[in-house]
């Protein structure tokens, strides 16, 4: 995965940093969901969060769509899968934002489980963590 923020450094004030640090998990990482919360609370755009965490030597973890992290996912939902395929004319690469928008019709966990256990690839992370995933998904999943 290539980050979109390789050469970006975003400075935070001490209050912003303190809020970010209080939202880290027990491993000192910031979960995907908390990264969205932190961005909103510190007045930054979600797309800046990867650059912010990198500048502080922190990592974002537990992508809600299963691209990275240790979240456990359920089985795919065939109805969600078919809706994604129908609405996006068979595209196998869907942007993170599109999938989050689709989650409004079910849940983020259901969409994440469906994506994780399918041939759908997530692109353009809303937090700036990656543009595209390059050949890392198991080839046997359909």
The DSSP line for 24-41 is --TTS-EEHHHHHHHHHH
Residue 90 domain flag: yes
Identify the pLDDT of residue 137: 45
Mean pLDDT of 21-48: 97
Identify the pLDDT of residue 66: 94
DSSP letter assigned to residue 23: T
d(CA 116, CA 103): 14
d(CA 102, CA 97): 9
Report pTM: 0.84
Residue 137 domain flag: no
Residue 132 domain flag: no
pLDDT at residue 90 tops 80: no
Residue 43 domain flag: no
Residue 103 domain flag: yes
Q: Phi and psi dihedrals of 122, rounded to 5?
A: -90, 135
Identify the pLDDT of residue 77: 96
Residue 25 domain flag: no
How many structural domains does the chain have?
A: 1
Closest CA to 100 of 79, 122, 128: 122
Per the CB < 8 A criterion, the answer to whether 129 and 63 are in contact is yes
Range of the domain at 110: 78-123
Q: Which of 15-24, 87-96, 133-142 has the lowest mean pLDDT?
A: 133-142
Residue 93 domain flag: yes
Q: How far is CA 95 from CA 34, 66, 122, 127, in A?
A: 20, 13, 6, 12
pLDDT digits (tens, 9 = 90+) for 92-118: 899 999 999 999 999 999 999 999 999
Per the CB < 8 A criterion, the answer to whether 142 and 114 are in contact is no
Residue 9 domain flag: no
């Amino acid at each position: 995965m290539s980050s979109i923020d390789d050469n970006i450094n975003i400075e935070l004030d001490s209050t912003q940093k303190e809020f970010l640090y209080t939202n880290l998990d027990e491993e000192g990482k910031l979960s995907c969901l908390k990264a969205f919360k932190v961005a909103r609370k510190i007045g930054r755009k979600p797309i800046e969060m990867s650059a912010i965490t990198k500048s502080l030597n922190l990592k974002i973890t537990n992508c809600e769509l299963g691209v990275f992290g240790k979240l456990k996912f359920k089985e795919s939902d065939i109805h969600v899968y078919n809706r994604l395929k129908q609405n996006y004319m068979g595209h196998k690469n869907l942007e993170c934002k599109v999938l989050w928008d689709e989650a409004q019709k079910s849940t983020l966990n259901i969409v994440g489980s469906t994506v994780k256990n399918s041939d759908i690839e997530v692109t353009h992370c809303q937090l700036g963590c990656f543009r595209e995933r390059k050949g890392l998904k198991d080839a046997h999943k359909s």
